[in-house]
Amino acid sequence: MSEDSQDPSEQLIHYFFMLTEKQLKDRYNENKAKQISQKFQQIFMKLIKKYDDDKVVKNDAINPIFLIALNESQQISREELLDQMLKVYEEMLTEILINHQLGMATSDDPWKTFVTSTKSANKQLYENEYFQCKTVIDDEQQFGFDINRCIYYEIFKENGQEDLAPLLCEYDFILADNVKDWVVFTRDETIADGSHRCAFRYFKKTAE
């Protein structure tokens, strides 16, 4: 087995390549889709190379580099770029979203299930030096956490593409929409929009 096949970052990169080419083929004829896909992959690999020396940062860099490469490989509007990005993430997350929604729907206490799973995900992904996630509200009706540093934004900025950062923030609404029957999500502050934090706030949905 090759070293790349054992590297989770490389596996994720190849998955992005596959899903990106698939959604491009849904939009363009096959030749054009392949041309854009090849250009996308070339740009992606050139940009990601600078992060090879730090596996943690490299893994975090994949998401912003994906969006930068998707943008630079085409001449499209911000609206179309956002749509393409979301299509890739929606397909990538399909199984996770289905399982999460099923867990909520069959739970005796969906709110507790949501908070517990969110805390677990935060501990695994964001309670580190690169995101500095801190829980700030946790009661029977509200749950909230702040992201006090965003490595995604820093990578966009390093590559002169910080204007794309707010588009990546829209990813969060895929997850929020999946639990909208039980949870109301707000996020009025983001680092990408100039705030000192990303303020994630969730509220238990009351019966209508």
**13, amino acid identity:** I
Mean local confidence (pLDDT), 167-177: 96
| pTM summary value | 0.92
* Whether pLDDT at 3 is above 50: no
Place of tokens 């794309």: 164
Rounded Cα–Cα distance for residues 207 and 59 (Å): 40
* Whether pLDDT at 6 is above 90: no
Rounded Cα–Cα distance for residues 171 and 13 (Å): 18
In 3D space, the residue among 71, 75, 90 whose CA is nearest the CA of residue 165 turns out to be 71
Please, which pLDDT band fits residue 178 given cuts at 50, 70 and 90? very high
Structure-token pair, residue 133: 């996630």
In 3D space, the residue among 128, 139, 149 whose CA is nearest the CA of residue 198 turns out to be 149
